[in-house]
Structure 1
Amino acid sequence: MLSIVEAAGWPIWPLIACSIAALAIILERLTTLRTAKVIPPRLLEEAITVSVASLPAPDTIDKLERNSPLGTVLAAGFRAARRPRASMESLREDLENSGRTVMHKLERYLNALGTVASAAPLLGLLGTVVGLIEIFGSQTGTSTNPTLLAHGISVALYNTAFGLIIAVPSLMFYRYFRGRVDDFGIELEQAARRLATHLQPQVEAAARTLS
């Protein structure tokens, strides 16, 4: 591996940095964007069951918020319902704001991964251009320096190949994570609607009591 890096020349170092960044992001997102971690099974059903008779206590809502991204959205709905003079409009608004915040967190680092996928081939092309410059630089009059010629070819080919090796899996994982985040967004939206429908009788009853 060291011999390949030496043969590829200095243009390989930005590509190595991109590969490290892409690998770190992919591993982090694979850990974070798990269904059981984002939308735990039965969490919505348990939250609805617990709040059939009355709204959960504040400490229970705090625990729910720390549970998962879905728990964060549900906790926002319960807090909105517990506020004095709560209304369905304010409840839905709080659910939407919480959902946007959660989605922003789920999309973390994806732009960076997409940037690596786009930049890696360009950095590989830069290495190719540098290699070609060295190839032309090996021409001295009527003679050719075979060492410089071989080095220029190595720089050109290794950087092109390494750029593609980084770009292809980075792009694949970027698309994969984007799809998962979009799916999670739909599920979170559906859960928020179910919670709003479930809390509507309690919110309206509290409003009638205050009026």
Structure 2
Amino acid sequence: MFELVTAGGWLMVPIILCSIVAVAIIGERFWALKQEKVVPANLVAQVWQLHQRRELDNQRLTLLRDGSPLGRILAAGLVNMQHEREVMKEAIEETGRQVVIELERFLNTLGTIASITPLLGLLGTVIGMIKVFAAITSQGVGNPAVLAGGISEALITTAAGLSVAIPSLMFYRYFRGKVEMLVIKMEEQALKLVEVIHGEREADEGTV
């Protein structure tokens, strides 16, 4: 393995660093985007029960806000539940935009890695071929070892760049789709709470 890295030349260093960062981001996003962490089950039902019992004090709102991204959105609406429906929705939407930014954290970095690692591999290919032609110019084609060194450097960096880029792109697309799905679920739950609070939906429907 070390021999391959050495044979690939100095461009293997940024490619390896990109791979380490990509693995760290993928692991962190798998943990952070678990559905039970972002959209806890029956949270709206619990909030509605607390509202009915008039137990939604500041302490419980703080716990709700800190408990999950969905809880943060619901808390923003509950703070404004004495106002009109539109005011409550605007507060939820504003907080929702902030939550989406947090859910998408590091995804741009992962997408950038997916874009630049093939280019780094291509640059390694170009440098390797330049070495090949330089060797041909200075020594002719009589020394296959020199030619093989340049060609192997070109192929190794290309393979390394693609090996990092392909899974990075796959997981980037996967996490983007998961964030969109979670946002839709949070919007549904927040809308249920707004409609129940303002009497536009039966309580037993809104808390399912």
TM-score by length of 1: 0.90
Secondary structure at 1:138's aligned position in 2?
A: helix
- Select between 143-152 and 190-199 the one with higher mean Cα deviation: 143-152
- Select between 51-60 and 151-160 the one with higher mean Cα deviation: 51-60
Q: 2:115 pairs with 108, 118, 121, which one? A: 118
After TM superposition, give the deviation of residue 98 of structure 1 in Å: 0.9
CA distance in 1, matches of 2:22, 2:49: 42
After TM superposition, give the deviation of residue 141 of structure 1 in Å: 5.3
| Counterpart in the other structure of 2:95 | 98
Q: Are the counterparts in 2 of residues 77 and 91 from structure 1 also a CA contact under 8 Å?
A: yes
Q: Are the counterparts in 2 of residues 65 and 71 from structure 1 also a CA contact under 8 Å?
A: yes
CA distance in 2, matches of 1:15, 1:93: 44
| Aligned pairs for 1:126-205 within 5 A | 126-139=123-136, 140=138, 142-201=140-199
Residue correspondences, number: 199
TM-score by length of 2: 0.91
Consecutive unaligned residues in structure 2, runs of 5 or more = 200-208
| Counterpart in the other structure of 1:69 | 69
Consecutive unaligned residues in structure 1, runs of 5 or more = 202-211
After TM superposition, give the deviation of residue 42 of structure 1 in Å: 1.3
After TM superposition, give the deviation of residue 142 of structure 1 in Å: 3.8
CA distance in 2, matches of 1:76, 1:137: 66
Secondary structure at 1:41's aligned position in 2?
A: coil
After TM superposition, give the deviation of residue 45 of structure 1 in Å: 1.4
CA distance in 2, matches of 1:141, 1:107: 53
CA distance in 1, matches of 2:185, 2:141: 68
Secondary structure at 1:81's aligned position in 2?
A: coil
Cα 1:141–1:9, aligned 2, differ >3 Å: closer, same or farther?
Answer: closer
CA deviations 1:102-152 (Å, max 9, x no partner) are: 111001111111111111111110000010011111112545443331210
| Counterpart in the other structure of 1:81 | 81
Secondary structure at 1:90's aligned position in 2?
A: helix
Amino acid in structure 2 at the alignment position of 1:23: V
Moved over 2 A (4+): 52-55, 141-148
